[in-house]
Structure 1
Amino acid sequence: MLITARHHAKDLQRYLDEQLTRAFVYVVDFEGNIRPVKKSENGSDLNEISVVVYPPRGAKEAKAFWQHTGFGISSRRATYWLENAPFLNRGRELPEAIFPVQEAKEAKVAIQQRIADSFSTEDNKLKKSDVLLYPTGMSAISHIHDIISLYTTTTKKTIAIFGFLYVDTIKVLSRIHGYECKIYSGTQSDLETLEEELAAGLELCALFTEFPGNPLLGSVDLERIKSLPDEFFFLFVVDDTVGTSVNVDVISHCDVVCTSLTKMFSGGCNVMGGSVTLNLKGSGLWDMKRRLKDRYVNTYFPLDMIVMEKNSTDCEERVTEASQNAGSQTQQLYEKYKRPGKGYGYLLSIRFNTPAAAIAFHDALDVAKGPSLGTNFTLACAYTLFAHFHELEWAASYAVVEHLVRISVGIENGRFMDEVIKTALNAAERAKVSHRNLSPELVGYTATILFNRALSIGEGTKEECMYTSVLIISEKSTEFARGEEVSPYSELPTGNDRLKYLEKFDQPFTNCTRPAYSLLSHTTSRN
Structure 2
Amino acid sequence: MATSHITPVAGVRPEQAPLGSPVPNVPHAISVSLPTFRDNVDYEEAAPRVVNAMVSGYPRFFVSLKVKELVAICEKKYGKPTENSFLWPSRRVAERCRHFVERYYVPTISTDDSTPTPHPPSTGAGSVRIVEFVIHAPTSELKPDGIKQVKVFATFFPKEAYSVAKQFWQHAGDIVSSRQAAFCLRWLALKAEEDSQQQQQKDEATIRMPRGNRHYAAAKPVAQQQQQGLPAVQSQDDEDKPVEEIDGMDSRDYEVYVEERYGRNLDLSFAPKAKVALRRRIAAQVAHHAGSASGWTGDKEYVTEEDVYLYPTGMSAIYNAHRIAMTLFPTRKSICFGFPYTDSLKVLQKFGPGCYFYGHGEEHDIDALEKEVLEKTLGENVKEEDKILAVFCEFPSNPLLKSSNLVRLGQLAEKYGFMIIVDETLGNFVNVRILEFADIVVSSLSKIFSGDSNVMGGSLVLNPQRRFYKGLKEAIGREYEDLMWVEDAIFMERNSRTFQTRIARIDENTEALCDYLLTHPKVKEVYYPKYVTTANYLTHKVEGAGFGGLFSVIFHSAKGSEQFFDALPFYKGPSLGTNFTLACPYTILAHYYELDWAAQFGIDRNLIRVAVGLEDKEVLFQGFNEALDAITDDE
- Shared topology, TM-score over 0.5? yes
Corresponding residue number in structure 2 for 1:424: 627
1:365 partner amino acid: L
1:153: how far off? 5.1
1:277 partner amino acid: V
1:61: how far off? 1.2
Q: 2:166 aligns with which of 48, 63, 66?
A: 63
1:223: how far off? 1.1
1:352: how far off? 2.3
Determine if the alignment matches structure 1 residue 358 to structure 2 residue 561.
Answer: yes
1:247: how far off? 0.3
Q: How does 1:240-319 map to 2 (within 5 A)?
A: 240-319=424-503
The structure with the greater share of residues assigned to helix is: 2
Counterpart-to-counterpart distance in 1, 2:565 and 2:149:
43
Determine if the alignment matches structure 1 residue 10 to structure 2 residue 95.
Answer: yes
CA contact (8 A) 2:448 2:499 kept: yes
1:100: how far off? 3.9
Determine if the alignment matches structure 1 residue 103 to structure 2 residue 306.
Answer: no
Corresponding residue number in structure 2 for 1:193: 368
CA contact (8 A) 2:446 2:456 kept: yes
Counterpart-to-counterpart distance in 2, 1:338 and 1:290:
32
Q: Which range is displaced more, 289-298 or 338-347?
A: 289-298
2:625 partner amino acid: K
Corresponding residue number in structure 1 for 2:611: 408
Corresponding residue number in structure 2 for 1:465: none
1:199 partner amino acid: E
1:65: how far off? 1.1
Q: 1:321 aligns with which of 474, 480, 505?
A: 505
Determine if the alignment matches structure 1 residue 377 to structure 2 residue 552.
Answer: no
Determine if the alignment matches structure 1 residue 132 to structure 2 residue 309.
Answer: yes
Q: How does 1:75-94 map to 2 (within 5 A)?
A: 75-85=178-188, 91=196
2:481 partner amino acid: V
Corresponding residue number in structure 1 for 2:175: 72
CA contact (8 A) 1:137 1:258 kept: yes
Assess, with a 3 A threshold, how the Cα gap between structure 1 residues 88 and 247 changes in structure 2: closer, same or farther: farther
2:547 partner amino acid: Y
CA contact (8 A) 1:235 1:285 kept: no
Counterpart-to-counterpart distance in 1, 2:576 and 2:353:
27
1:230: how far off? 3.1
Q: How does 1:19-30 map to 2 (within 5 A)?
A: 19-20=105-106, 21=124, 22-30=127-135
1:95: how far off? 6.6
**Unpaired segments of 5 or more residues in structure 2?**
1-85, 107-123, 138-146, 199-248, 253-259, 261-265, 297-301, 378-385, 513-529
Secondary structure of the structure 1 residue equivalent to 2:609: strand
Counterpart-to-counterpart distance in 1, 2:356 and 2:159:
30
Q: 1:53 aligns with which of 134, 150, 156?
A: 156
Counterpart-to-counterpart distance in 1, 2:97 and 2:468:
33
Assess, with a 3 A threshold, how the Cα gap between structure 1 residues 170 and 87 changes in structure 2: closer, same or farther: farther
**Unpaired segments of 5 or more residues in structure 1?**
33-43, 436-527
1:199: how far off? 1.6
Counterpart-to-counterpart distance in 2, 1:282 and 1:108:
25
1:115 partner amino acid: I
Secondary structure of the structure 2 residue equivalent to 1:217: coil
Counterpart-to-counterpart distance in 1, 2:349 and 2:305:
31
1:88: how far off? 5.7
Secondary structure of the structure 2 residue equivalent to 1:262: coil
- Cα deviation, 1:381-417, whole Å, max 9, x if unaligned, reads 0100100111111111111111010001111111111
CA contact (8 A) 2:586 2:609 kept: yes
2:277 partner amino acid: A
Corresponding residue number in structure 1 for 2:412: 228
Corresponding residue number in structure 2 for 1:440: none
Assess, with a 3 A threshold, how the Cα gap between structure 1 residues 357 and 95 changes in structure 2: closer, same or farther: closer
1:103 partner amino acid: F
Higher relative contact order (CA 8 A, sep 6+): 2
CA contact (8 A) 1:10 1:25 kept: yes
Counterpart-to-counterpart distance in 1, 2:437 and 2:597:
31
Q: 1:119 aligns with which of 264, 286, 289?
A: 286
Secondary structure of the structure 2 residue equivalent to 1:186: coil
- Cα deviation, 1:478-506, whole Å, max 9, x if unaligned, reads xxxxxxxxxxxxxxxxxxxxxxxxxxxxx
**TM-score normalised per structure 2:** 0.63
Assess, with a 3 A threshold, how the Cα gap between structure 1 residues 413 and 381 changes in structure 2: closer, same or farther: same
1:166 partner amino acid: Y
Secondary structure of the structure 1 residue equivalent to 2:348: helix
Corresponding residue number in structure 1 for 2:33: none
- Cα deviation, 1:504-524, whole Å, max 9, x if unaligned, reads xxxxxxxxxxxxxxxxxxxxx
Q: Which range is displaced more, 87-96 or 347-356?
A: 87-96
2:374 partner amino acid: L
2:580 partner amino acid: F
1:186: how far off? 1.1
2:318 partner amino acid: I
Assess, with a 3 A threshold, how the Cα gap between structure 1 residues 46 and 376 changes in structure 2: closer, same or farther: farther
Counterpart-to-counterpart distance in 2, 1:265 and 1:142:
20
Corresponding residue number in structure 1 for 2:237: none
Size of the aligned set, in residue pairs, is 419
Counterpart-to-counterpart distance in 2, 1:81 and 1:325:
41
1:145: how far off? 2.4
Higher-Rg structure is 2
Overall identity of the aligned pairs, in %: 33
Counterpart-to-counterpart distance in 1, 2:479 and 2:337:
27
CA contact (8 A) 2:334 2:356 kept: yes
Corresponding residue number in structure 2 for 1:399: 602
1:92: how far off? 6.7
Query: In angstroms, what is the RMSD of aligned CA positions?
Result: 2.4
Assess, with a 3 A threshold, how the Cα gap between structure 1 residues 310 and 46 changes in structure 2: closer, same or farther: farther
Assess, with a 3 A threshold, how the Cα gap between structure 1 residues 244 and 92 changes in structure 2: closer, same or farther: farther
Determine if the alignment matches structure 1 residue 169 to structure 2 residue 344.
Answer: yes
- Cα deviation, 1:56-91, whole Å, max 9, x if unaligned, reads 111111111111111220000000011113556553
Q: Which range is displaced more, 20-29 or 400-409?
A: 20-29
1:180 partner amino acid: C
Counterpart-to-counterpart distance in 2, 1:91 and 1:341:
62
Assess, with a 3 A threshold, how the Cα gap between structure 1 residues 132 and 56 changes in structure 2: closer, same or farther: same
Counterpart-to-counterpart distance in 1, 2:403 and 2:314:
20
CA contact (8 A) 1:30 1:87 kept: no
- Cα deviation, 1:262-308, whole Å, max 9, x if unaligned, reads 00000011100000011112344531344234421111111110000
Corresponding residue number in structure 2 for 1:390: 593
